Structure 1
Amino acid sequence: MEISGIFSALIIGAIIGILGRLALPGRQHIALWLTIIIGIVAAFIGAAIAHGFGVADTKGVDWIEWLIQIGLAAVGVSFADRSSGSRRGSRRLSRR
């Protein structure tokens, strides 16, 4: 993979992370940088899954690949939000 390919993968990963965050209802209590990291990871894993099912290289926009990636990002953001929420709750209880 060339430098331009890595750079575009990072940009697309960031977009996927933000779209995954927007797909979830309510407010997520995680940092934006963590959302972007989750999106980048979801983009790579989603691309591998799409290639495995043979739906990644179609004519035009690869909508199925995008949906897989955004779904993975939403799951990742939700998991990170719940993980950080449990730590916040334990801090609240320990202060009382």
Structure 2
Amino acid sequence: MGLGIIGWIIIGIIAGWLAEKVMGRSHGLVTNLIVGVIGALLGGWIAGQFLGMAVGGFNIMTLLVAFLGACLLLFLLGLVKRRG
């Protein structure tokens, strides 16, 4: 069963908030949502392409992949900011 829009929002907010705390950043709710959803897409793509994992649905694995993707996104954005 796939995630609906409400599921994406919930996973995105949680993953973005967790990544914000782990990466030592300070964002608002909307930024956490955006980071979490983009992180979920990034993490899901990496999990599928390189690990052969199909991640989906409203479960802990989806949250973990979204969280790791959000952390990676914040890390990469930090690198770009330092160069600019």
TM-score normalised by length of structure 2: 0.60
Cα RMSD (Å) of the superposition? 3.1
Question: Is the aligned partner of 1:37 residue 2:34?
Answer: yes
Instruction: Please name the residue that 1:69 is paired with.
Output: 66
Report sequence identity in percent. Answer: 22
Query: Which residue identity does 1:76 align to in structure 2?
Result: L
Q: Distance in 2 between matches of 1:5 and 1:21?
A: 24
2:4 alignment partner, SS class: helix
Aligned to 1:17: 16
Gaps of 5+ in 2: none
Q: How far apart, in 2, do the equivalents of 1:56 and 1:35 lie? A: 21
> What do residues 19-58 of structure 1 show as CA deviations (whole Å, max 9, x unaligned)?
111222x4x25x323232111111133234445523536x
| Structure 1 residue ranges without an equivalent (≥5) | 88-96
Q: 1:50 to 1:34 in 2, by over 3 A?
A: same
Query: What's the TM-score, normalizing by structure 1?
Result: 0.55
2: CA distance between counterparts of 1:40 and 1:55? 17
- Aligned pair count reads 77
Structure with the greater alpha carbon radius of gyration: 1
